[in-house]
Amino acid sequence: GAVVSQHPSRVICKSGTSVKIECRSLDFQATTMFWYRQFPKQSLMLMATSNEGSKATYEQGVEKDKFLINHASLTLSTLTVTSAHPEDSSFYICSANLGTSYEQYFGPGTRLTVT
Amino acid sequence: KQEVTQIPAALSVPEGENLVLNCSFTDSAIYNLQWFRQDPGKGLTSLLLIQSSQREQTSGRLNASLDKSSGRSTLYIAASQPGDSATYLCAVRTGANSKLTFGKGITLSVRP
């Protein structure tokens, strides 16, 4: 199947710093990518839809100035958590749709811990 | 607003058993439905995708069915193995390129 990668897989940062997470579609072009957040033992929560060459669409309740999304190319979207706080600690997962079937493929996730 | 329900939240079965995981959704006007597997601390692996015009899809020991009119999908796992232990998530898409709506998942444990 299609491959989506994320980098880094784990990151620990201090409160107040910013962290960037990369999401890449390795063998296909993705005009749309999605960013999710997952708390322990809970399902995925969609944060935003990232569109190549345009502004991301954020879900209700997600602070766009805190979670900056950039989708500069058809294979790369980035999520920057600005001025991170311990409550931002979570598992962040990106995904992308493949082709006209709109089958969604997910990256392996990034575990963010803010101390 | 589309809502997806997966019951029960957890299931434990002995190895070798055939089992069915259920998924229900409130709005039958879906574009497609996808079943995923998630291992602890990992991302999601796509298992099967069923388009709205299809009734079922098969991959190896897995078979997924879709009944749009009743708002239900099932994932059938034949001859379960301990390696099948994971959380299984059902998700529906209501339109092309629209977001997925996820169920909360079923955590499956297959006992050796």
Burial status of residue B34 (CB atoms within 10 A of its CB: 0-12, 13-18, 19 or more) = buried
Mutate to test the interface with A, among B3, B36, B92, B100 (most CBs of A within 10 A): B100
A43 and B89: CB-CB below 8 Å? Answer: yes
CB-nearest partner of A108 from B31, B42, B102: B42
Report the C-alpha gap between B30 and A45 in whole angstroms: 19
Residues of A in contact with B34 (CB under 8 A): 103-104
Both tokens assigned to B27: 């709005």
Which residues of chain A does B102 touch, with a Cβ-Cβ cutoff of 8 Å?
Answer: 43-44
Q: How far apart are CA A67 and CA A63, in angstroms?
A: 6
Give me the tens of pLDDT residue by residue for chain B, a chain 112 residues long: 899 999 999 999 999 999 999 999 999 999 999 999 999 989 999 999 999 999 999 999 999 999 999 999 999 999 999 999 999 999 999 887 788 999 999 999 999 9
A-B CB pairs within 8 A amount to: 54
Average pLDDT, chain B: 95
* Closest alpha carbon within chain A to B10: A41
Classified as helix, coil or strand, A64 is coil
Instruction: Show Cβ contacts of residue B39 under 8 Å, excluding neighbours closer than 6 positions.
Output: B45, B86, B87
Characterize A50-62 residue by residue with b for buried, 16 or more Cβ atoms within 10 angstroms of its Cβ, and e for exposed: bbbeeebbbeeeb
With beta carbons under 8 A apart, name residues in chain A contacting B36: 106
Query: Residues A21-62: pLDDT tens digits?
Result: 999 999 888 888 999 999 888 888 999 999 888 889 999 999
Q: Which residues of B touch A108 (CB under 8 A)?
A: 42-43
* Residue A41 pLDDT: 80
β-strands A76-81, A90-98 pairing: unpaired
pLDDT of B48: 96
Query: What pLDDT is attached to residue A84?
Result: 96
Instruction: Summarize pLDDT for B82-111 with one digit per residue, the tens.
Output: 999 999 999 999 887 788 999 999 999 999
Using 50, 70 and 90 to split pLDDT, how confident is the model at A1? low
